[in-house]
C-alpha cells in the first residue's frame, strides 16, 4: 500500500529523483541505467528527475537523458558532446563554458538557461524553447566532429538580438 494518495501517483510515471546534491559518477550511472529502462518501456525503469543538482565538470559525452526533467542544475564546464537531450526539460540550467557540440536538444525546454561561452557547434536546437535563455558568446556553427551546423531557428536569434538592443 502506497503512502501517497492515488491522485498524486496515478498519472505520473515512476521516477528517479535527485535533489540539491553533487551528483557522483556512480549515482549518475545508476540514474542513466534506470532512465534507459524507462525509455525502453521496462517495468523497473524510472524517468530521470534532477532538481538543483551540481553536475559541473562531469564527462557526460553521449548521455541519453531525452525526456528527463532537469531543473536549475549546474552543468558548467561539463562535456555534453553528442548528448541526447531531446524533449527534455532543462529550464534554468547553467551551461557556462560547457561543450554541447553535436548535442541533440530538439524540442527541449531551455527557458532561462545560461549558455555563456558554451560550445553549441553542430547542436540541434530545432523546436527548442529558448525564452529567457542567455546565449552570450555561445559558439554556434559547424561541429568539428560531425561537420554539421548548429540547427536553430534564426527567428529566435533575431528576437534575442532585438531584446539586447532594447536593454
What's the pLDDT tens digit per position in 67-108?
999 999 999 999 999 999 999 999 999 999 999 999 999 999
DSSP SS3 for 118:
coil
Quote the pTM value: 0.82
Contacts of 138 (CB under 8 A, 6+ apart): 115, 116, 117, 118, 119, 120
Among residues 137, 97, 147, 100, the alpha carbon closest in space to that of 120 is found at: 100
Cell 551528483 belongs to residue? 23
- C-alpha–C-alpha distance, residues 88 and 111, integer Å: 11
Question: Is the predicted pLDDT of residue 6 greater than 60, yes or no?
Answer: no
Amino acid at each position: 500500500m502506497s503512502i501517497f494518495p492515488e491522485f498524486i501517483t496515478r498519472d505520473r510515471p515512476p521516477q528517479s529523483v535527485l535533489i540539491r546534491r553533487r551528483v557522483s559518477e556512480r549515482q549518475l550511472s545508476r540514474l542513466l541505467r534506470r532512465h534507459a529502462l524507462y525509455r525502453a518501456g521496462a517495468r523497473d525503469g524510472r524517468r530521470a528527475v534532477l532538481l538543483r543538482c551540481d553536475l559541473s565538470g562531469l564527462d557526460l559525452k553521449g548521455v541519453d537523458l531525452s525526456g528527463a526533467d532537469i531543473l536549475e542544475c549546474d552543468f558548467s564546464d561539463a562535456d555534453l558532446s553528442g548528448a541526447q537531450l531531446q524533449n527534455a526539460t532543462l529550464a534554468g540550467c547553467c551551461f557556462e563554458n560547457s561543450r554541447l557540440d553535436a548535442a541533440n536538444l530538439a524540442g527541449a525546454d531551455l527557458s532561462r538557461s545560461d549558455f555563456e561561452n558554451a560550445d553549441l557547434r553542430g547542436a540541434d536546437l530545432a523546436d527548442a524553447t529558448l525564452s529567457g535563455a542567455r546565449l552570450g558568446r555561445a559558439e554556434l556553427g559547424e561541429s568539428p566532429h560531425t561537420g554539421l551546423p548548429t540547427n536553430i531557428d534564426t527567428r529566435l536569434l533575431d528576437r534575442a538580438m532585438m531584446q539586447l538592443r532594447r536593454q
